[in-house]
Amino acid sequence: MLTIAQAAFHLDIPLRAIRSWMRRELVEGVREGRLPLPALVQAHFLRSLLRTGMSGTVLADVATDFGQLWPARQELVKAVSRRAKNVDFAQVLDEHTALVAVDADGMPQAIRLRSYWEQGVAVVVDPRTAEGRPVYEHSGVPVLNVVRAFLTGERPIDIAWEHSVQLDDVHGVLRVHLELTHL
């Protein structure tokens, strides 16, 4: 499970926003300062809605619907579309659900992190792998291992070789971390 600060970093959400959502109970299930997967999925969804320009009041209403109707996609689209008339909610939901792996009951099992995905790198958070820390989807290598190796002076090509990760994926993760840390 990710800490609140780690979740804010990897989801590219202001830390204040996640804390506000927790206070308003829009992100639920946070225990000991860590977000379990369902809370991470909720925060990711709210991030998607926040980027559409949705107002805070409508966002709160939508978050409630999301928590209650997550498995029933059509009902969720109807409920939200009534509240957010200027947002193509079906598209937002499609983009969000494409990044969430679900089990047979429709409950989240893992989530691909959008910031990495946009760089062409498949990075997931899966509670069954690396204690729920971000890992490369295909190899299970923790992203932080790659970043730390780079920060200690290793060359990307050596990191790729050592961790059995494609060189382009090493570069992609490093680009995301540079962007998210605003260096």
3-state class (DSSP) for residue 135:
strand
* CA 183 vs CA 11, 142, 153: distances in Å: 17, 22, 17
Altogether, the residues listed in the chain come to a count of: 183
pTM value is: 0.81
Q: Could you give the percent of the chain with pLDDT greater than 70?
A: 82
Q: Are 138 and 129 in contact (CB under 8 A)?
A: no
**Is the pLDDT at 159 greater than 60, yes or no?**
yes
Which stretches within the chain are classed as H helix?
4-11, 15-23, 37-50, 56-69, 73-83, 89-97, 114-117, 143-151, 156-163, 167-181
Same domain (yes/no): 122, 47 = no
- How many whole angstroms separate alpha carbon 127 and alpha carbon 131? 6
- The residue-averaged pLDDT of 29-52 equals 85
- The residue-averaged pLDDT of 112-131 equals 92
Domain finish residue from 89, 112, 135: 112
Name residues whose C-beta falls within 8 Å of residue 158's C-beta, 6 or more positions apart in sequence. Answer: 149
163 versus 78: the higher-pLDDT residue is 163
* Containing structural domain, residue 117: 113-183
Same domain (yes/no): 101, 31 = yes
Same domain (yes/no): 85, 172 = no
